[in-house]
Chains A and B, each alone.
Chain A
Amino acid sequence: MTDTENANTDRAARRGTVLSGVADMAVTESELRSATSDVADAHRDTFPQMRASIAQWEELEGESTRRALSRRGFLATAGAMIAGGVALAALPAAAATRSGGTIAAARAGLPAMGSDVPLDVVVAGLAASLENLAVATYGAALKAAGAHKLGPVPPAIANFATVAMAQHKDHAAAWNSVLVRARYKPITAANPVYASVVDKDFAHVTDVAGVAELALTLEGVAAATYLEAIKALSTPAAVAIAASIQPVEMQHVAVLNFVLGRYPVPLAFGSLSGAAPVSAANGLDFAKS
């Protein structure tokens, strides 16, 4: 058996342990905490897989990636909404309908960062910046909760925010590894276009429900963006990374829907509505390392 097969078998075995551990657990908080610890183990188990994917990232300065710029467009449809400075809550996200996948010319959305930056690099940077924003938003929510600014915070909600924040941190790290491998500097800041809108919305949040609504919109934006990215990215390893993250954002959406008292899986097909436009990468520093 190869190292990869051994690793996969080990992961599968441990995953099975985690799932059966969840199934067998009693109701006590300590046992639930134990189950959460197992979940964290499973979470860490996915890292070797992800590292391998990142390691297989192709040289993004290659001709094939450059070709992608003229071959496909990316996310132009949502650009107007962002440019208009609409509040984030007004953006149609996961609960909205699928747009039908209209994709316009890519270069039209890439005015600021220069035509020499491959589209896959731009998408990786955009993704990292959105993940950074999610981390910052959950962090701010947890801080506000700790300062008793959100009223009573149920333990399950605090746990959701903590784990979701950690996962977004991992997603950001994955995309930044991709950027570094492509010889670009990591994107460590939150997306400036979305951050300005989120900051305004967050200023009006006074309770847990408000945080959940904001989180739902952010998660929906992320899920839709990855769905669009899967079609737009040209490097298979990049597609694989986006494909491994999108379902997790969708899971966050489902749980938030449920928490908010909505049907958790309202759509049979993922929505593209609310996807971040590639122009939202404007302002990101795509500097060579």
Chain B
Amino acid sequence: MDYDEHGLGQLIEQSDDIQADAMRAGRASLDEVVERGRERRAHGEIDNEEVEEFSTRRAAALRHGLAGAGAAVGLGAAILALSQTSAFAAAPGDVQILQTAAAIENLAVATYGVALTLPFIGGAAANPVVKTFVTKTRQQHVEHAAAFNASIRALGGKPQTKPDPVLLQVVDKAKPTLTSAAKVVDLAITLENGAAETYVKDAAVLEDLNAKDLTASIMGVEAQHVAILLAVRALLAGGLGADITLPPPIAKLPAAAGSVGFPNAFYSTTAARPATEGAVR
């Protein structure tokens, strides 16, 4: 296999440097969220009746108004009106959405962890680029979960430490069938795409600007995971596993390999998870 381990190590090192910078900036952003939450709590108690009313109306809006990428006519005005009722009113609905996001991340972390115990993903038989990708992607999901939970805490909610219960069933069902790298990649695509589509949908409905910003900053990264996994899956299916190298042997790859990672011009939301699926009960 044409694999420049030293070169890849350098790239990962550079990547980690960039990542460390990004985390510092991310923490600064989260600090803003925390401060905002403190300010909210400092101004008084949450009006439970108002919160309940907001949650009900928002749940209805989510059910009926936001299929796919688009918001229903009037939803914008409705959300705007709701946002003007109270600075507090946005938090509970956002917390549920963020808890679901954290639950999805927790499951991704656990699933990639299991994958790394498999010899063809994390062992000696693994493609080194795939192993590196799984290892680093798992770590990125750890950071996503931590960021979502920090945002939840800042809004006065309870952090979600458990996995998404519905997706967990999908993973549990798939575990016995994970007998090859291709099957692991299939499962990873399901999880990553579900995460990306959920966050695309969330970005349009989250009220708290920092929560919206955080979610939006993660959705594209999940979509990138999907792109690479789609390309890896296509190469594995085509018997070109040996060509999964960094850099790739671009001149010998089939033409379709150039675009298999981004099949849609607009990211779909049909596989988005329900907003409250992973909420803390």
Contacts and interface: CB of A to CB of B under 8 A. Distances in A.
B263 A42 contact: yes
A3 B207 CA distance: 29
B203 interface: yes
Interface residues of A, number: 96
A251 B200 contact: no
A157 B69 contact: no
A23 B232 CA distance: 10
B109 to A, nearest CB: 12
Interface stretch (B37-45, B71-79, B116-124): B71-79
Contacts of A15: 268, 270
B257 interface: yes
B280 interface: no
A239 B133 CA distance: 31
A180 interface: no
B75 to A, nearest CB: 6
Nearest to B132: A263
A23 B233 contact: yes
Nearest to B223: A247
Contact of B262 (A152, A154, A248): A248
Interface string A245-271: 111111111110011111111111111
A70 interface: no
B231 A268 contact: no
A156 B66 CA distance: 37
Interface string B48-83: 000000000000000000111111110111011000
A240 B253 contact: no
Interface stretch (A134-142, A162-170, A185-193): A162-170
B179 interface: no
Interface residues of B, number: 96
Nearest to B233: A23
Interface string B139-165: 110011001000000000000000000
A247 B267 contact: yes
Nearest to B26: A269
A244 B267 contact: yes
Determine the main DSSP class of B at the interface with A. Answer: helix
A270 B70 contact: no
B204 A252 contact: no
A32 B256 contact: yes
A42 B264 contact: yes
Contact of B266 (A12, A164, A244, A267): A244
B224 A158 contact: no
A164 B139 CA distance: 29
A98 B22 contact: yes
A266 B220 CA distance: 12
Contacts of B136: 263, 265
Interface in B86-137: 133, 136-137
A265 B218 CA distance: 12
B277 interface: no
Contacts of B217: 98, 227, 269-270
Contact of A36 (B7, B76, B259): B259
B267 to A, nearest CB: 4
Contact of A39 (B70, B75, B228, B260): B260
A154 B250 CA distance: 7
Interface string B227-248: 1101101100111100000111
A156 B266 contact: no
Given A230-B212, A236-B79, A269-B221, A241 B69 contact: yes
5 closest Cβ pairs, A-B complex? A53-B70, A261-B247, A247-B223, A250-B220, A32-B256
Interface of B: 7-8, 11-12, 14-15, 18-19, 21-26, 28-29, 66-73, 75-77, 79-80, 133, 136-137, 139-140, 143-144, 147, 182, 186, 189, 196, 200-201, 203-205, 209, 212-214, 216-228, 230-231, 233-234, 237-240, 246-248, 250-271
28 contacts: A11-B270, A22-B233, A25-B238, A32-B255, A36-B260, A46-B264, A46-B266, A49-B268, A53-B69, A56-B72, A58-B73, A98-B26, A155-B254, A156-B253, A167-B262, A223-B220, A236-B204, A240-B204, A243-B200, A243-B203, A245-B266, A247-B224, A248-B264, A255-B231, A258-B247, A266-B18, A267-B19, A268-B23
Given A244-B267, A258-B228, A270-B218, 17 more contacts: A8-B67, A26-B238, A45-B264, A56-B71, A56-B72, A64-B76, A158-B258, A170-B265, A171-B266, A236-B71, A247-B222, A249-B220, A253-B224, A258-B246, A265-B137, A267-B19, A269-B221
